[in-house]
A = this chain, B = another copy of it.
Amino acid sequence: MSRKGREQIDSTRKKTRILILGGGFAGVFAAKALLKQARRNKDLNIEIELVSERNYFVFQPLLPEVAAGTINAQDAVTPLRLLLKGVKVRMGEVRHIDFAQRRVQLAQGSKRIPQHRAYDHLVLALGQRTILEKFPGFAEHSFCLRDLAHAHALRNHVLQCLEHADVTENPALKQSLLTFVVAGAGFSGVEIAGELHEMLERALPMYPSIQTHEIRTLLIQRGHQILPELPEQLGHYAAQKLRARGVEVLYGTSLARATAEAVYTQDGQRINTRCLITTIGNGPTQVVEQLGLTLERGRLVTTPSMQIPDHPRVWALGDAAYIPMGESCAPTTAQFAVAEAKVLAANLLEQIRTGNCAGAFAYTPRGAMASIGDYRAVADLSGVRVSGLAAWLMWRAFYIGMLPGFSTRLRVALNWFFDYFLPRSIVQVKTTSDSAARVVHYAAGDVLFAPGQVVDGFYSIIHGQLESRVPDDRAEHDHFVRILGPGDHWGERSLVEGTQTVGWLTALEDCEVLVLKRNDFARLRQGVPQLRAYLDHLPEKKYPPALRHTPGEQAET
């Protein structure tokens, strides 16, 4: 069919295409509100398509409970296609928006062939992403909780720490494995600390060598109140409850950096831990950054009616939008995103009907709630403060009310009910592979390898200096010492020969080291002949002697 022919059919249909980018609270509730309001106006002939990188909606406030195993992963998410009947759902990644031609370029499928989707109205609901560049080591050594995959990764890591702590005979290692640090004490940080601590305590009966007092959960807050969004009194109540259960709340503290073995506070304190969870560092997604539109605090500036200035067919809401509200702007919470969605839908449909819209966004929040674990929550409902089990039940009821269909609600409610009676599962579901190439940070003095360890990856120094120190067999108190710097690498032989270390490898200053896992290194060596040629002709001295083979005995750890 010629392009002209297609356009004629389109014009007889008079369908107005609304394209929503993003499948979080903002995108999903905008689609729902548009559907609902359009049904009341039969003369409107609209078609809604929503693009999301995931095929499901994740109820982010429940992710701490998924990580803690309180609820099943599938009870915190709903397939977009089930939630949005009547909306075309497309899984894809937004690559580019062409405002002049009114179309969006997407990449979809495993071959990532670009697609163009045309729109009459475009709704930007792209959310934010975690940006941790200001905190060295955080990107590599911290967990965040934006998505279901993050909750799984955190859960597996915490269980790995417990499994290892239960069998190690090294007290310092055990202490480090049992120290859990949560950075930031907003809603998310408080819920994570509370749920994590409850999970640890409930798991302990399964780990006979770990005592309750050996577990440390630290909640680190820069300011002097936790839950700063809530009235001070509720923040104090939450802090008091958390402390009574054993969570250490550190006020006036902020973290500077993280390594594979510790976190460091701004004032130089070192806390040994293998598990840092961060709830800080929000910034614009890459797509939002590249649009060339005005940003304020990393968010898209809109008119009070949620349009992008000079782009009357482009709208924005949710965490990605900077919507003026009096002297300030709308806060980035799920509750506001839902409220914004209703106003945006009304404005957009009004604009389609009349060509005009004037509805400025205004909203008075009904309240706020935070779960703090152990069946306790705090809530502030239009000034009425509720705490404890009552608040927790309200919090859960709110979510249940959002789910589609009676049977789904019943199943989720029953699963929650059973959690009360059942031992918490400690099943550690490892994914088939974690990231293959990762960057590991070390601080001066950290020991990367001691004698008798297995080198099971390829290591290459990105920056910093390390010292390799190996006992000299010929003289009792002598050591061979070599300094390693950027570009030095090791592990390529021990991967083949299955060797163990005979000396120490110690960071002399703060270092970054690239680590490539055994299998991936083997594939890469096989697949890139230039790399293989280089590695096969390395002189013997390239190998740090600390990592050479020994058939001898190793100390138990």
Chain B residue contacts of A91, Cβ below 8 A: 160, 163-164, 167
Q: A107-B454, A206-B79, A486-B529 are in contact. Are A500 and B114 (CB under 8 A)?
A: yes
User: Pick the contact of A453 from B113, B418, B423, B429 — CB < 8 Å?
Assistant: B113
Q: Is A441 an interface residue (CB 8 A)?
A: no
In the complex, which residues 483-524 of chain A have their Cβ closer than 8 Å to any Cβ of chain B?
A: 486-487, 489, 500, 513-514, 516, 519-520, 523-524
Chain B residue contacts of A411, Cβ below 8 A: 415, 418, 422
Chain A positions 520 through 550: 1 when the CB is less than 8 Å from some CB of chain B, otherwise 0: 1001101111110010000000000000000
Chain B residue contacts of A516, Cβ below 8 A: 524, 527
With an 8 Å Cβ cutoff, the count of chain A residues facing the other chain is: 94
User: Pick the contact of A149 from B55, B168, B173, B432 — CB < 8 Å?
Assistant: B432
Chain B residue contacts of A437, Cβ below 8 A: 436, 519-520, 523-524, 527
Task: Tell me how far the C-beta of A551 lies from the nearest C-beta in chain B, rounded to whole angstroms.
Answer: 11
In the complex, which residues 424-454 of chain A have their Cβ closer than 8 Å to any Cβ of chain B?
A: 425-439, 450, 452-454
Task: Tell me how far the C-beta of A388 lies from the nearest C-beta in chain B, rounded to whole angstroms.
Answer: 25
User: Pick the contact of A56 from B78, B173, B427, B530 — CB < 8 Å?
Assistant: B427
Chain B residue contacts of A241, Cβ below 8 A: none
Find out whether the CB atom of B527 lies under 8 angstroms from the CB atom of A453: no
Find out whether the CB atom of B432 lies under 8 angstroms from the CB atom of A150: yes
Chain B residue contacts of A108, Cβ below 8 A: 164, 167-168
Q: A411-B415, A422-B408, A429-B152 are in contact. Are A452 and B514 (CB under 8 A)?
A: no
Find out whether the CB atom of A438 lies under 8 angstroms from the CB atom of B523: yes
In the complex, which residues 366-399 of chain A have their Cβ closer than 8 Å to any Cβ of chain B?
A: none
Most chain B CB inside 10 Å of its own CB: which residue of A73, A77, A113, A534: A113
Find out whether the CB atom of A527 lies under 8 angstroms from the CB atom of B79: no
Q: A82-B423, A436-B436, A453-B111 are in contact. Are A528 and B557 (CB under 8 A)?
A: no
- A168's closest neighbor in chain B, by CB? B109
Find out whether the CB atom of B430 lies under 8 angstroms from the CB atom of A433: no
User: Pick the contact of A431 from B160, B431, B452 — CB < 8 Å?
Assistant: B431
Find out whether the CB atom of B429 lies under 8 angstroms from the CB atom of A81: no
Find out whether the CB atom of A115 lies under 8 angstroms from the CB atom of B557: yes
Chain B residue contacts of A528, Cβ below 8 A: 460, 487, 489, 514
In the complex, which residues 65-102 of chain A have their Cβ closer than 8 Å to any Cβ of chain B?
A: 72-74, 77-79, 81-82, 90-92, 95
Q: Is A148 an interface residue (CB 8 A)?
A: yes
Chain B residue contacts of A529, Cβ below 8 A: 460, 486-487
Q: Name 11 extra pairs, CB < 8 A, besides A79-B426, A116-B554, A487-B528.
A: A55-B427, A91-B164, A109-B168, A111-B453, A114-B452, A114-B453, A115-B557, A436-B520, A437-B523, A437-B527, A524-B524
A-B contact pairs, 30 of them (CB 8 A): A56-B428, A77-B427, A77-B429, A79-B206, A90-B167, A91-B160, A91-B167, A95-B454, A107-B456, A108-B167, A112-B454, A113-B452, A113-B454, A113-B554, A113-B557, A114-B453, A114-B554, A115-B556, A148-B427, A149-B430, A411-B415, A433-B433, A435-B520, A436-B520, A437-B527, A460-B529, A462-B526, A487-B528, A514-B527, A514-B528
Q: Which 7 A-B pairs have the closest CB atoms?
A: A514-B527, A436-B436, A81-B206, A431-B431, A487-B529, A437-B520, A56-B427
Tell me the A residues contacting B by CB distance below 8 Å: 54-56, 72-74, 77-79, 81-82, 90-92, 95, 107-116, 148-150, 152-153, 159-160, 163-164, 167-168, 173, 206-207, 274, 405, 407-408, 410-411, 414-415, 418, 421-423, 425-439, 450, 452-454, 456, 460, 462, 486-487, 489, 500, 513-514, 516, 519-520, 523-524, 526-531, 534, 554, 556-557
